[in-house]
Amino acid sequence: MSRLYFPKDFIWGSATAAYQIEGAYQEDGKGESIWDRFSHTPGKVANGDTGDVACDHYHRYKEDVELMKEIGLDSYRFSISWPRILPKGKGEINQQGLDFYRGLINELLKAGIKPVVTLYHWDLPQALQEEGGWANREIVKHFVNYAEILFNEFGDVVSQWITHNEPFVVAFNGHGSGDHAPGIKDQQVALQVAHNLLLSHGLAVKKFRELKLDNEIGITLNLISSYPISDNVEDNKAAKRMEDYINGWFLEPLFKGRYPERIVEFYGEKFNNLDIREDDMGLIKEEIDFLGINYYSRSLVRYNKDSKFLGIEGVKPQDSQYTAMDWEIYPKGLYDLLIKLNQEYTQKPLYITENGAAFDDKISEGGGVHDQDRIDYLKAHFQSAYKAIQEGVALKGYYVWSLMDNFEWAYGYSKRFGITYIDYENNQRRILKDSAYWYKNIIVNNSLEV
């Protein structure tokens, strides 16, 4: 056995999102979000689940910070619920919402845990959705106003801010396939939403700079590594298109001030119909301090001329292992992704803002939760991260998804990603899984035994 030692200032954390854990969906002045509306619409979420109670974190945050302290987290990444701060998305501020997050941040600081705040993790105020939501360019100014409120309120105690979590998912799952809130199925709308999200990010960063805050701001993207099934030229082109579609559509504007040519050509008239104004690309490219990366799996593809999706057909290898989400476990993809980002896009500091796996965890007869599959998954991905660091990638931290089992969007409570088990049948009782204790050991030693 040997040990892989991470850099001395490496940050080990865990992450959550407001709608997935907080509950208290109608309490203390909180407004309705698009996920409140979506989850209450029959047929939208597995088993009719909603985030009404979730993990009841709103009432139990002090207990949850104690769990984080027990695990030894350096940092905790969480999102703020926009409708908890501005029930209508704009206008009157809900002081009780600010007080809740102030209480959470204070508990974290007392415990020696660095708070990292995501401004938007998908729970748009329903009142703004009724004005067109992210498809209406007016939302950009509302987002910047919301961001400014939080910068002014917490800028002295939050050292790192993330504007958006996975804008790809907001745009294409929420407005393309419709399997996420607000449930719209329109590719043209999805493209406009993607642009408006990027523009709101750039303007929020600009506002952050104007306020001269002495801390950092970035964005989190869900990124993949894409591979061809063969050495065939067309398969290679298909893999590149897949990468452009998911990664490039956001990385290119953020770092190069343009959209990827191959995908622009594919969208054709749809792209030409977008409302993109003269200064937009320059605003989107506003300099960030770091990039957050959410990585879960790779994409393996072949060319298929009959596929309406960019001529791409996904391939599912039979000899691979899969998580409960049916996602292939492919840690090398994380290494390849980090190297490519470093070579092609940015040498800025990088953070893994999410990485983890869902498995069908059960409470054992002894009362523990033995999730060796998750430990194996994380260990392999930590090794990939370590290898990338050794090759010069400025990876500064790693946030395991998730601190606790939670409301997994359209899957409801049927999937468990947590390193803490939530016993939904027994008053949301918390049980640290074996993976939490294993992670605690990693953090204490700042190293991985291999």
For residue 146, which phi and psi values (nearest 5 degrees)? -60, -45
Which is nearest to 197 in space by CA: 223, 224, 168, 217?
168
Q: Give the pTM.
A: 0.98
Residue linked to tokens 């003269």: 278
Show the tokens assigned to 70.
């027990």
Residue 287 is among the residues annotated as catalytic for this protein: no
The pLDDT, as a whole number, for residue 63 is 98
Question: Which option is the CATH number for 3-449: 3.20.20.80, 1.10.1270.20, 1.10.10.10, 1.10.3720.10?
Answer: 3.20.20.80
Give me the catalytic one of 107, 166, 243, 328: 166
With 0-12 CB in 10 A as exposed, 13-18 as middle and 19+ as buried, what is 155? middle
The pLDDT, as a whole number, for residue 104 is 99
The pLDDT, as a whole number, for residue 309 is 87
Domain positions in the chain are: 3-449
For 111-148, give the DSSP string.
TT-EEEEEEESS--BHHHHTTTGGGSTTHHHHHHHHHH
The pLDDT, as a whole number, for residue 368 is 98
411-445 residue pLDDT tens: 999 999 999 999 999 999 999 999 999 999 999 99
State the SS3 of 327-391.
CECCCHHHHHHHHHHHHHCCCCCEEEEEECCCCCCCCCCCCCCCCHHHHHHHHHHHHHHHHHHHC
The pLDDT, as a whole number, for residue 308 is 83
Q: Which residues are annotated as a binding site for substrate?
A: 20, 121, 165, 296, 401, 408-409
Show the tokens assigned to 383.
């090794």
Give the rounded distance of the alpha carbon of 117 from its chain centre.
Answer: 12
Question: Which residue stretches of the chain have pLDDT < 50?
Answer: none
Residue 354 is among the residues annotated as catalytic for this protein: yes
Q: Which residues are annotated as a binding site?
A: 20, 121, 165, 296, 401, 408-409
The pLDDT, as a whole number, for residue 1 is 86
